[in-house]
Amino acid sequence: MPARIRLQRHGKKGNPFYHIVIADGRAPRDGRFIEKIGTYNPIANPAEINVDIDKAINWLGKGAQPSDTVRAILSYKGVLFKSHLLKGVAKGALTEEQAEVKFQNWLSEKQSKVEAKRKGLTEAERVEIKERHAAEILVNEQRVAELNKKRAAELMAERNEVIAAATEEEATETEVATEE
């Protein structure tokens, strides 16, 4: 079986962290591997991916087959694009300098998109926190209003009871006074 480029799981339950490794296709997922070429942390937003591009291209050139997830990761980081450009250089369609310029342009665009997402997430988080805070204030104001209504009703009930008791005392006093 050919070599595979795949993920090797590490980390706690519910908190995965992966190493991107080159392994024999027959080896178990977290078993023996030939070489570690990077890491992948899916918990972070956006996901943190560190890949040694040169090693990955070297192994792809040797015929290593990436798993579906690793193929997506390598595509995201530009490894497959650079490998494609290097095949064009080998065929004579481009020079190495042209290929490197194309790759650097692609890399800078990708980096700006990632930074925009990261910035947008922090901005979105700020807006979400403000909205939650405003909703919380509204709920608290409603609770306070309900409590004030209940307290007012209780005070009115107590006042009516006191008035009723006072009128009863006056009525009994007037009865006692009239009997005398």
Q: Which residues, given as ranges, of the chain have pLDDT below 70?
A: 1, 176-177, 179-180
Tell me the C-alpha distance between 57 and 64, whole Å: 10
Q: Establish if 165 belongs to a structural domain.
A: no
Residue 1: the pLDDT is 61
Q: Establish if 154 belongs to a structural domain.
A: no
Residue 50: the pLDDT is 94
Residue 167: the pLDDT is 82
Residue 41: the pLDDT is 94
Residue 54: the pLDDT is 92
Residue 162: the pLDDT is 84
Q: Establish if 9 belongs to a structural domain.
A: yes
Q: Is the pTM of this model over 0.75?
A: no
Q: Establish if 31 belongs to a structural domain.
A: yes
End-to-end Cα separation, the chain, in angstroms:
119
Q: 73 near 5, Cβ under 8 Å?
A: no
Tell me the C-alpha distance between 138 and 146, whole Å: 12
> How many structural domains is the chain composed of?
1
Which residue range forms the structural domain that includes residue 64? 3-94
